[in-house]
Amino acid sequence: MATAISGFAQFIEHPGADAQGILHRSGLGTDPLEPSAPIALFSLCRAMDDAARCTQNDNFGLWFGHQFAPQSLGLLGYLATSSPNLGQALRNMVEYFPVYQQSSLLRLCEAQGICRLEYRLQDAAIASRRQDAELSLTQFCNVMRLALGPASLQRRLKEEKECFKQLIESIRRELAHTYLQEERLSISELSVRLGYTEVSTFSRAFMRWHGMSPRQWRELQRGLA
């Protein structure tokens, strides 16, 4: 829905980029949209990639999502923020997410008192997914902050020995697997898409995750295919 790009043009224009040009090139159009109007997920991802380039902000989706108020998500945001507790807020988001966004999956897994929120795109035509992943991550975090309160959220994250940096790393790790299966992407281009300024930094992170280099992992997967 068009609520996903609430404040998008203003956020692009703040550093001096051409918001109208980005919206036009992505296919979203430059005319104001009703909040409930449908928009193509492919176009939204394309717009965010373009915005990241034009604003010279590799973490565009992350920062756009950070300032995005849950109430701006329309009905989905209202259902989440009016829920009696965090658990119900997440369940409501999962139940009504298909109405808000197509070609994607949002799932809440609950086991032994621990909840895991899973999100992924299901549109194979969308190869570049980093900006969408980071936007979605921060939007979900904003909902949790509102439902829990800042102090409570920080305490819960500390109890689970989790932090925002680790959440970002887990997203990068998952995206790295997706990108490495795209043979047309070089390792250097892949590392840029994941937000690493140096290929060596990405290679060290990947070695820590899997005990092998990205190139070795790609060759191994190619042999298993």
At 189-218, the pLDDT tens digits run: 888 888 888 899 999 999 999 999 999 999
Say whether pLDDT at 225 is over 70. no
- Is residue 146 within 8 A of residue 81, CB to CB? The reply is yes
Sign of the CA dihedral running 28, 33, 38, 44 = positive
Domains with residue ranges and CATH for the chain: 2-162 (3.90.1520), 163-225 (1.10.10.60)
Backbone angles phi, psi at 184, to 5 degrees: -75, -15
pLDDT tens track for 168-180 = 788 888 888 888 8
Residue 222: per-residue pLDDT: 84
User: Which segment of 38-42, 87-91, 112-116, 154-158 scores lowest on mean pLDDT?
Assistant: 154-158
Say whether pLDDT at 34 is over 70. no
pLDDT tens track for 97-151 = 888 888 899 999 988 878 888 998 988 888 888 999 899 888 888 888 777 765 6
- Is residue 63 within 8 A of residue 39, CB to CB? The reply is no
Residue 137: per-residue pLDDT: 86
Q: What percent of the chain has pLDDT over 90?
A: 22
Give the residue-averaged pLDDT of 16-43: 82
Neighbours of 92 (CB within 10 A): 18
103: left (phi over 0), alpha (psi -120 to 50) or beta: left
Q: How confident is the model at residue 164 (pLDDT cuts 50, 70, 90)?
A: low
Q: How confident is the model at residue 89 (pLDDT cuts 50, 70, 90)?
A: confident
- Burial of 183 per CB tally in 10 Å (0-12, 13-18, 19+): exposed
Q: Which long-range contacts (CB under 8 A, 24 or more apart) does 198-205 make?
A: 202/176, 205/169, 205/172
